[in-house]
Chain A
Amino acid sequence: MRRAAVAIVKLTSCSGCINEFLYTIASYPELLRSVSIVHATEFQDLNTLEDIDVALVEGSVVTQHQEELVKEVRSRARTLIAIGTCATFGGIQAGRVGEDLRKVILASYPNPDFISALPDVKSLDRVVKVDFNLSGCPVNGDALARLLVKVILGGSEVPIAESVCSECKRVGVLCVMVSRGVPCLGPVTLGGCGAICPRFGRGCYGCYGLNTTVVDGERLARFSEVLEKVGMGRGDLEAFLKYFSFSALTKIRVRE
């Protein structure tokens, strides 16, 4: 069988998702035999980039250059998978969107004139057609490996509609919110991590992003009231949603 050409592309991100992927495939030698990896971290590389079977893209789009890069990658890739919360929702860097850009820059740099930044932080699906969105900060490497095998074999998408709570039930974790009154975003967060935080005795802070298939503005508003009772204010919930679910917020608002 011909090996599938898989391209790895990094946009604005921390490299954590790409590292997850690399070490997952390092522990599945079978997978290594069916893929060959090409790499495109920089625009120049595209000149040498052949047709791609699967492009794995980490990070969000914050520059013009990245927008062009990702369009180019899309045009050459049969399948494009957005990996990680930066790519699927915008990621933590979206936390500054909507704020005065000069103030944002001044918080980090003494001389704002040397720094150029655009006001927006875009998830991939706002720029190109994305075939599969696999969120998580970082993405679950095993889930990505399974998806990759499936894509190579020609499978199609099964949308995930589960929340972290279902995973708690499955692994038999005592609910931290019910048993100890610890604020937990698990009920509104996409499953896929295996309920890591509740398993370690803490609340979920939503790093896999909002589960928009089951949560709408109405439900989010009611959930926010529940959270408030256990000590997480609306402002803090909104901040977490901005960090890990930014692109979903244009569709859903926490209603007043």
Chain B
Amino acid sequence: MRMLQGLLTRVEGEGEVVLRTENGKMVGVEVRISEAPRFFEYIVRGRRYVDVPDLVSRICGLCGVSYVVTACRAFENCFEIEVPEYEEELRMAVLGAERVKSHVIHVAYLNLPDLIGLGSIGELFESYTHLFQSASKIVLWARKAMEILGGRFHNVVNIRIGGVYSFPSSEKVRALSRDLNEILNDFEGLARFVLGLRSISEEVHKLRYMATACSGSYCWASNKLVLDDGTYFGVESFENYVLTEQVSYSNALRYRLVTGEPYLVGPIARYNNYMKYLREEVRELLEEFGWNRELRGVYQSVVARIAETYNTLLELRDFLSSYRERTVSSPPKVSRVRGPCVAVTEAPRGILYHRYLLDDNLRVRSSNIITPTAQNLACMEYLIEGKLYGSALDSKAVEVAKSLIRCFDPCISCSVHVSRVEIPAGTTRT
């Protein structure tokens, strides 16, 4: 297990953070994404809309289900397709299992070492073996859940436009449900440990933020969005609310609000909007540790991840324990497309936006996919600059930049790979 732990912190593509200095003082930061682009917007061109979900799933090995679900929802929106309730529940369960996996990996393997602050990951592992074992058990359970409900751990095959392809057998689901009780115990241990840490920083980050908008529930998918100041808008006008920018040093596009301000998406944005809709058990646990309040800065996103994971596990428990095999609906018949096909879904790291324009033969003419990490890039630079501007660039500063970036849980392949801070000689102008 020790090895796994070491690896996960290092499975990454190519990206780096460059801290620029003048006379030894930090004057700027560049989050550079050098991962070779895969040009998905071009690849889906000319394809039948029904094939798109399986293609975009390949964008990301960490949150592929979010891609599949978002693409399906985009076409369901423009074709006005109703998804039968039980099929939607099954899809949301697969999405939930992916979220559990993603959050637990981040909390246990990437964030915890920062929070506990022991010298090396090895040391951390020796001292907290049981925690890592719990984390690994939870992730392996989520993997099993994705396999049973979705077909496999990556590029799930069971989600289609209009619903699912089939309902897995009750017998398999029962086994999953049985194991979940133990997993919940493991998770509670991990959650209590993390929420009780005194090292979660109270540093305040004044940031704009955006999340999907639901009324009366913790929001994972919706056709509305909301900004921190209460501005609501429909997903069809999302692109009017953000500016796209491209910088020469990065292969990932980045986004700001039309005012030019960076904005945050992800756990904090969701938590601060919807914490009152978390389940009672979750709120009680948070209260016990004094976390039933608005989160102040990105260092506290770990609290939101714990809360969201717990809530999701409880929802999965209800779903699995009342599960019944059903007959699937027949694939929707469509003829006319009403406007662009757009949707947003909350991927683990924040809102994922898809827009497709179809031609008369219902093939993709153009598309736009905006990933959560790409939206968070401007925030990363803003926070690092705010914290380090003018200060001496020593190894401590580098650590600060690294740990800030890790709080965003930057996604591996969709847009960015950042977890290494480097100061190339050529960029230090003294």
Chain A residues within CB distance 8 Å of chain B: 8, 10, 12-20, 22-23, 25-27, 29, 32, 36-37, 39, 41-42, 62-63, 66, 91-93, 95-96, 99, 103-105, 107-111, 114-115, 117, 137-138, 141, 193, 196-197, 199-202, 205, 207, 235-236, 239-240, 243
A202 touches B1 (CB 8 A): no
Q: Which residues of A contact B366 (CB under 8 A)?
A: 107
Given A26-B1, A196-B157, A92-B58 contact (CB < 8 Å): yes
A201 touches B165 (CB 8 A): yes
Ordered by A's residue number, 10 sampled pairs between the chains whose C-beta atoms are within 8 Å are A15-B13, A19-B62, A92-B55, A107-B42, A108-B40, A110-B253, A115-B251, A197-B151, A201-B328, A202-B160
Q: Which residues of A contact B1 (CB under 8 A)?
A: 26, 29, 32
**Complex-state Cα separation, A107 to B39, whole angstroms:** 8
**Chain B proximity of A187: nearest CB distance (Å):** 18
Interface-located stretch among B110-118, B240-248, B309-317: B240-248
Is B158 among interface residues, defined by CB-CB distance under 8 A? yes
Given A13-B413, A108-B37, A137-B8 contact (CB < 8 Å): no
**Complex-state Cα separation, A36 to B11, whole angstroms:** 16
B143 touches A110 (CB 8 A): no
Given A22-B11, A196-B152, A236-B48, A93-B4 contact (CB < 8 Å): no
A19 touches B60 (CB 8 A): no
B166 touches A12 (CB 8 A): no
Is B41 among interface residues, defined by CB-CB distance under 8 A? yes
Chain B residues within CB distance 8 Å of chain A: 1, 3-4, 6-8, 10-14, 35-43, 45-48, 51, 54-55, 58-62, 64, 136, 139-140, 143, 151-155, 157-158, 160, 165-166, 244, 246-248, 251, 253, 328, 366, 412-413
Q: Which residues of A contact B14 (CB under 8 A)?
A: 41-42
Q: Which residues of A contact B35 (CB under 8 A)?
A: 12
B153 touches A114 (CB 8 A): no
Given A32-B3, A99-B42, A17-B61 contact (CB < 8 Å): yes
B38 touches A12 (CB 8 A): yes
B36 touches A14 (CB 8 A): no
**Complex-state Cα separation, A207 to B57, whole angstroms:** 12
- A204 nearest CB neighbor, chain B only: B157
**Complex-state Cα separation, A26 to B135, whole angstroms:** 11
B4 touches A201 (CB 8 A): no
**Complex-state Cα separation, A104 to B44, whole angstroms:** 11
Contact of A14 among B46, B47, B61, B248 (CB under 8 A): B61
**Complex-state Cα separation, A95 to B55, whole angstroms:** 10
**Complex-state Cα separation, A201 to B160, whole angstroms:** 12
B246 touches A22 (CB 8 A): no
A26 touches B4 (CB 8 A): yes
Given A39-B7, A108-B39, A200-B166, A20-B153 contact (CB < 8 Å): yes
